[in-house]
């Protein structure tokens, strides 16, 4: 529990707006970023294949006389896909490629100011040595039929060295981020969910809790309870209801787990919020 | 345990009521802000009416103040998470650099690009000097031993040119016009050269050493080729053949090398800044220069693919090459003096 919280804190960075509010941004972890990059690669590859197929069919339809302009269009299109895809999307309003958007992350400037185009360009040109160069070395070698183990290993080590760079620094930056003064942060789109303590449940009204029963838990447990209630998994609800019931000495019927927890959540939250207003933040059940 | 305390329940209910009404009253604002944000993120701000545009910062501030209130008083973590994500989106939108595309492009050509190149003048000199050293070395090596030619220039690129080729063959290669695939070839050259330039830039990260080698080697190839033609008395002609696009292309590659060197040297010697900040500063200047480099290479590709094959007079080739060089130098280094007044 303690280590989990510490690792969560390790990726939090404060971002203080000019209005003086700390927005507490969370850095995207390596797995999320790898997923986003793979998605982008899939998109680029799909687009490249589509362009090539269209070009090939175009050639057949037109005959070799009109091949030339088509060839130019093809070369330029592939070039744009490779070099401009990332830059164009990240320089846009949402500062994220389609892949990043899907996993809910975006690029941001490390100093909190707006992201400028030259930063986006710098971070994406570096991808050339991070990913494409070792790949093209390997591909070129195998194309010539001289791909021996050594060059392949060398290429892979190089690629890994850069690919794993984000794991070796505190801010999860890759080389491009380091050069551009950027980092990648989580920017999920959340919807406003229902207020659990406003939930109308006729059975829940029958439960009453005493002061001592509400003092059994703190804010950390309240948030866990909220999670369980929102997940709404029957067995989890029952297990939690039993545990809480045992602790506060009031065991509900098995089929009453949900209304019991709803009622307890509402009461506990009101109780803790009242304490909060009076300046007493009860972080968890151990705090008096 | 003990019986419920009615007084506590009543007070708890009062808190619950006030927080519920806080949410009820603010919720409409949050929703409005969310829909506006979704719209401006998808389309240009023009899509909004004037009132909506003016309400955007107000709604943002209202969301921020709601967040502060919620953090201090509410324990509904879903609500706080929602407000945090909404405020963050709003912050990124409102405080992001919001220059229009046209203004951005204009600024790039008027200030940023020449400014970045001027900033790199020292590295540019070094890079050009390295290239000349490479040319000298390449010519000297091939002059001393023909075997060096094959070692320096890959056979695919040489395409039959070599120390043993006849003067006639070499000459036809210089003036061989239409090969039916001109502009396609130009597009290919452009993309190839841009990749080389990006490499020169990106490799600078390794304390500039690979970039220095790349510049030297590029010069070496040129020198080797030159020596072969010079030995056959075709030096002037090769000069014209190269100059028409080469002044632009080689200059561009030298600039890319300069950008790479800037990054490498700033990482090695950050001065008073931290290494990170120094790298970030250098990276931004270098990136701007790099965009300019790709524009230059586009010109070079056009000149090479179209101009070189269709224009076969030496004088015209030299004139175009020299003109382009003068144009670039004037644009990068002299343009500033003209515009100095209104900056």
ipTM: 0.83
Is B64 in the same domain as B109? Answer: no
Shared domain check, B150 and B25: no
Q: Is the dihedral of CA A175, A179, A181, A182 positive or negative?
A: negative
Pick the last residue of a domain from B98, B130, B160.
B98
Question: Phi, psi (5° rounding) for residue B48?
Answer: -90, 150
Whether B111 and B73 map to the same domain: the answer is no
The verdict on B93 and B109 lying in the same domain is no
Tell if the CB–CB gap between B199 and A133 is shorter than 8 Å: yes
Chain A positions touching B4 (Cβ under 8 A) are 208-210
Same domain membership, residue B176 and residue B159: yes
User: Does B211 fall in a domain?
Assistant: yes
Per the CB < 8 Å rule, is B181 touching A71?
yes
What pLDDT digit, counting tens, does each position of A28-81 carry? 988 899 899 999 999 999 988 888 888 777 766 665 556 666 777 777 777 778
What does pLDDT average to over chain A? 81
List Cβ neighbours of A275 (8 Å cut-off, separation of 6 or more): A281, A282
Same structural domain for residues B48 and B188? Answer: no
Q: Which among B63, B98, B133 is the end of a domain?
A: B98
In a domain, B178, yes or no: yes
Q: What is the pLDDT of residue B1?
A: 42
Full domain range(s) for residue B304? 102-342
Hey, are the CB atoms on A19 and B64 less than 8 Å from each other? Answer: yes
| Alpha helix stretches (DSSP H) within chain A | 2-10, 30-62, 67-90, 98-103, 117-125, 127, 133-144, 149-163, 175-180, 211-214, 219-231, 234-248, 257-277
The answer to whether the CB atoms of B93 and A197 lie below 8 A apart is no
Instruction: Note whether B280 contacts A187, CB cutoff 8 Å.
Output: no
Judging contacts by C-beta atoms under 8 Å, the chain B residues touching residue A117 are 104
Residues B221 and B154 in one domain: yes
| B12: nearest CB among A24, A110, A267 | A267
Are B168 and B286 members of one domain? Answer: yes
Kindly state the average pLDDT of the residues B38-46. Answer: 79
Within 8 A of A128 by CB-CB distance, chain B residues are 195, 198-199, 202
Residue B1 lies in a domain: no
Number of domains chain B contains: 2
Q: Are residues B92 and B110 in the same domain?
A: no
B281, part of any domain: yes
B156 touches chain A (CB under 8 A): no
Mean pLDDT, chain B, rounded, equals: 80
Same domain, B92 and B133: no
* Within a domain: B221: yes
- Looking at residue B340, what is its pLDDT? 45
Q: Does B118 touch chain A (CB under 8 A)?
A: no
Q: Does B30 touch chain A (CB under 8 A)?
A: yes
Any domain includes B227: yes
Q: Is B117 on the interface with A (CB under 8 A)?
A: no
Is B58 near chain A, with CB under 8 Å?
Answer: no
H helices of B145-234, in order, are 147-152, 155-158, 167-175, 182-203, 209-231
Radius of gyration, alpha carbons of chain B: 31
For B62, the closest chain A residue by CA position comes to: A19
Q: Are residues B80 and B112 in the same domain?
A: no
B8 touches chain A (CB under 8 A): yes
Of the candidates B74, B98, B122, which is a domain's last residue? B98
Chain centroid offset of residue B45 CA: 27
pLDDT band at A107 (very low <50, low <70, confident <90, very high): very high
Q: Give residue A66's pLDDT.
A: 60
Calpha distance B213→A229 (Å, rounded): 63
pLDDT on residue B154: 66
- pTM here is 0.76
Asked, for residue B196, whether it belongs to a domain, the answer is yes
Q: Which residues of chain B lie closer than 8 angstroms to A178, CB-CB?
A: 276, 279-280, 283
Chain A residues close to B96, C-beta within 8 Å: 93, 95, 114-115
CA distance to partner chain A, nearest, from residue B333 (Å): 21
Residue B96 in this model has a pLDDT that exceeds 50? yes
Domain match, B171 and B76 both: no
Query: Mean pLDDT, to the nearest integer, of B288-300?
Result: 84
DSSP bridge partners of A27: A185
User: Mean pLDDT across the stretch A87-100?
Assistant: 87
């Amino acid at each position: 529990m303690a280590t989990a919280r510490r690792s969560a804190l390790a990726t939090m960075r404060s971002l203080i707006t000019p209005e003086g509010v700390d927005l507490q941004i969370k850095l995207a972890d390596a797995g999320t970023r790898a997923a986003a990059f793979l998605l982008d690669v899939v998109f680029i590859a799909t687009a490249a294949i589509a362009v090539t197929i269209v070009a090939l069919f175009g050639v057949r339809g037109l005959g070799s006389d009109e091949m030339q302009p088509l060839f130019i269009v093809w070369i330029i299109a592939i070039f744009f896909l490779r070099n401009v895809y990332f830059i164009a999307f990240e320089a846009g309003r949402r500062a994220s490629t389609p892949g990043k958007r899907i996993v809910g992350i975006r690029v941001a400037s490390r100093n909190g100011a707006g992201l400028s185009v030259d930063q986006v360009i710098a971070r994406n040109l570096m991808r050339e040595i991070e990913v494409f160069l070792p790949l093209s070395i390997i591909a070129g070698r195998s194309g010539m039929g001289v791909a021996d183990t050594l060059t392949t290993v060398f290429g892979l080590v190089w690629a890994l060295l850069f690919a794993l760079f984000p794991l070796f620094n505190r801010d999860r930056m890759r080389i491009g981020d380091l050069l551009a003064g950027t980092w990648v942060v989580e920017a999920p789109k959340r919807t406003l969910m229902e207020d659990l303590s406003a939930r109308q449940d006729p059975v829940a009204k029958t439960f009453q809790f005493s002061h001592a029963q509400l003092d059994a838990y703190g804010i950390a447990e309240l948030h866990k309870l909220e999670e369980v209630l929102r997940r709404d998994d029957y067995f989890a609800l029952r297990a939690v209801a039993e545990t809480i019931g045992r602790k506060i000495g009031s065991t509900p019927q098995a089929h009453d787990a949900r209304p019991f927890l709803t009622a307890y959540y509402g009461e506990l939250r009101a109780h803790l919020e009242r304490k909060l207003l009076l300046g007493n933040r009860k972080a968890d059940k151990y705090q008096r | 345990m003990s019986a419920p305390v009615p007084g506590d329940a009543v007070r708890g209910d009062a808190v619950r009521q006030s927080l519920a009404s806080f949410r009820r009253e603010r919720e409409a604002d949050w929703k409005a802000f969310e829909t506006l944000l979704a719209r401006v993120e998808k389309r240009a701000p023009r899509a909004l009416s004037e009132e909506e545009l003016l309400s955007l910062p107000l709604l943002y501030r209202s969301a921020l103040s709601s967040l502060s209130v919620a953090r201090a008083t509410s324990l509904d973590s879903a609500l706080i998470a929602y407000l945090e994500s909404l405020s963050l989106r709003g912050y990124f939108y409102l405080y992001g650099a919001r220059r229009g595309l046209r203004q951005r492009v204009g600024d790039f050509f008027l200030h940023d690009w020449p400014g970045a190149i001027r900033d790199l003048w020292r590295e540019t000199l070094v890079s050009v000097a390295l290239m000349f050293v490479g040319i000298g070395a390449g010519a000297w090596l091939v002059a001393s031993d023909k075997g060096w030619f094959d070692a320096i220039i890959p056979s695919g690129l040489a395409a039959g040119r070599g120390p043993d080729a006849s003067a006639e063959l070499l000459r036809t290669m210089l003036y061989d016009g239409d090969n039916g695939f001109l502009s396609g070839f130009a597009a290919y050259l452009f993309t190839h050269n841009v990749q080389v330039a990006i490499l020169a830039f990106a490799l600078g990260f390794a304390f500039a050493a690979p970039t220095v080698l790349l510049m030297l080697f590029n010069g070496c190839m040129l020198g080797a080729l030159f020596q072969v033609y010079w030995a056959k008395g075709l030096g002037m002609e090769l000069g014209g053949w190269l100059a028409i696009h080469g002044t632009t292309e080689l200059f561009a590659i030298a600039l890319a090398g300069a950008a790479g060197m800037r990054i490498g040297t700033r990482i090695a010697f950050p001065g008073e800044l931290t290494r990170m900040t120094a790298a970030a500063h250098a990276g931004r200047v270098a990136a701007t220069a790099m965009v300019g480099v790709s524009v230059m290479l586009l010109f070079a590709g056009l000149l090479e693919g179209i101009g070189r094959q269709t224009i076969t007079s030496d004088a015209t080739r030299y004139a175009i090459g020299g003109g382009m060089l003068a144009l670039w130098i004037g644009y990068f280094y002299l343009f500033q003096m003209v515009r100095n007044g209104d900056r």
